[in-house]
Structure 1
Amino acid sequence: MTTHLMLIDDHALFRYGVGMVLAAGLVDIEIAEAASLEQALLQSDDAFDLVLLDLQLQGLNGLDGIALIKRKWPHSKVVIVSANQDKHIQDEALARGAHGFISKLETPSRMLELVGQVLAGQLPASTPVPNPDKKPRLSPRQSEVLELLCLGLPNKLIGRRLNLSENTVRGHVQAILQTLQVSSRSEAAFVARRQGLIN
């Protein structure tokens, strides 16, 4: 059975990254996107199983949008996805009817896990929000490798740029994946951009 999901966020890159993570990790999923609540509400009346909603949007904000979404799609689960770490905002979202709160600072694998829990009806009312000050610590060399990795360069070209052997680059990449708690280069790039680890 196909799962229908709506992703509302005004950052196209974030929508693209989350869409890739969810499409790769969930079976039989169809993802619709919107850059604003107004745009989302103009879409089909067919219900979505889950709506991932950013707090900070152009026009109507996410908190005010929860009720509008519930009115249009009464059976849809609404989850706030935001970089806002204010516990009061999280509590307010839940009080207004959100089914959960997922921090944008989560790793892709953790975000995928939480979305799966929501769809299965297992997410607790309050999802713990990680400390935004706890950014992954990379060595200066790893940061250089990560910058080039995010440009899509393969290990061989990264090695040429940094005057390193391909095996050394491979070791740095593996260390980066482990530090960022991700399993692929694309996930590493996604996390790096979201957490401000690259320029």
Structure 2
Amino acid sequence: MLIDDHALFRYGVGMVLAAGLVDIEITEAASLEQALLQSDDAFDLVLLDLQLQGLNGLDGIALIKRKWPHSKVVIVSANQDKHIQDEALARGAHGFISKLETPSRMLELVGQVLAGQLPASTPVPNPDKKPRLSPRQSEVLELLCLGLPNKLIGRRLNLSENTVRGHVQAILQTLQVSSRSEAAFVARRQGLIN
């Protein structure tokens, strides 16, 4: 089961898993509440986003373990705070996979979990290796991090809304995230903005 409130991320991870694993059946949920309404049939693995609308992933670990005690729960998040990872493991998660991982690495880690080989905490990508953004993408990112919508970013930078949208998509892809809020978080974390 894949629990994440970003439909595009669920779709992408589902495609990666379906292409890379044999005999896999994926169930999706946009929230913990929606996930817990699923049947009582156990899942081999639950990939759980940390930042969810309503009940968050950390608080949801116990509920998932109660409903499906034999399921392996892995947190999947852009948040790379070591304390959060330790807290997730202390609450019963089997591992932590960063959303900054490449699809092939995520597939490898999921395979390890299913085989019972995942270490307690998965390594995260090297934070010293900063993504390369163009000067214009950096300007768009800075305004995006201020919470401005595409239209206002376009006005500030004298760009069309479509051009800004293209830059935002390129930024999301470069940072390997699925939302503007995740992009802002990663950008601050990696020192890409002031």
**Counterparts in 2 of 1:65 and 1:28: CA distance versus 1, 3 Å:** same
Q: Deviations over 1:85-143 (max 9, x none)?
A: 10000000001110000000000000000000000000001111224463333678999
The answer (yes or no) to whether the contact 1:104–1:194 under 8 Å persists in 2 is no
Deviates more, 1:28-37 or 1:180-189: 180-189
Q: Deviations over 1:3-30 (max 9, x none)?
A: xxx0000000100110111111001100
TM-score normalised by length of structure 2 = 0.69
Distance 1:142 1:85 in 2: 23
The answer (yes or no) to whether the contact 1:109–1:182 under 8 Å persists in 2 is no
Match of 1:181 among 176, 185, 190: 176
Q: Deviations over 1:147-197 (max 9, x none)?
A: 999999999999999999999999999999999999999999999999999
Match of 2:107 among 104, 112, 121: 112
Deviates more, 1:171-180 or 1:81-90: 171-180
Match of 1:86 among 81, 86, 99: 81
Deviates more, 1:135-144 or 1:51-60: 135-144
Distance 1:196 1:21 in 2: 29
**Counterparts in 2 of 1:56 and 1:190: CA distance versus 1, 3 Å:** closer
The answer (yes or no) to whether the contact 1:9–1:53 under 8 Å persists in 2 is yes
**Counterparts in 2 of 1:167 and 1:148: CA distance versus 1, 3 Å:** same
Task: Quote the sequence identity (%).
Answer: 99
**Counterparts in 2 of 1:27 and 1:150: CA distance versus 1, 3 Å:** farther
Deviates more, 1:116-125 or 1:150-159: 150-159
Distance 1:52 1:191 in 2: 20
The answer (yes or no) to whether the contact 1:17–1:190 under 8 Å persists in 2 is no
SS in 2 for 1:161: helix
Distance 2:18 2:176 in 1: 19
Number of residues of Structure 1 aligned to a counterpart in Structure 2? 194
1:45 Cα offset (Å): 0.6
The answer (yes or no) to whether the contact 2:51–2:57 under 8 Å persists in 1 is yes
Deviates more, 1:154-163 or 1:68-77: 154-163
The answer (yes or no) to whether the contact 2:78–2:186 under 8 Å persists in 1 is no
RMSD: 6.7
**Counterparts in 2 of 1:186 and 1:84: CA distance versus 1, 3 Å:** closer
**Counterparts in 2 of 1:157 and 1:36: CA distance versus 1, 3 Å:** closer
Deviates more, 1:186-195 or 1:31-40: 186-195
Indicate yes or no: 2:83 matched with 1:97.
no
Deviates more, 1:121-130 or 1:6-15: 121-130
**Counterparts in 2 of 1:108 and 1:194: CA distance versus 1, 3 Å:** farther
The answer (yes or no) to whether the contact 2:100–2:176 under 8 Å persists in 1 is no
Distance 2:170 2:155 in 1: 19
The answer (yes or no) to whether the contact 1:108–1:191 under 8 Å persists in 2 is no
Match of 2:28 among 5, 10, 33: 33
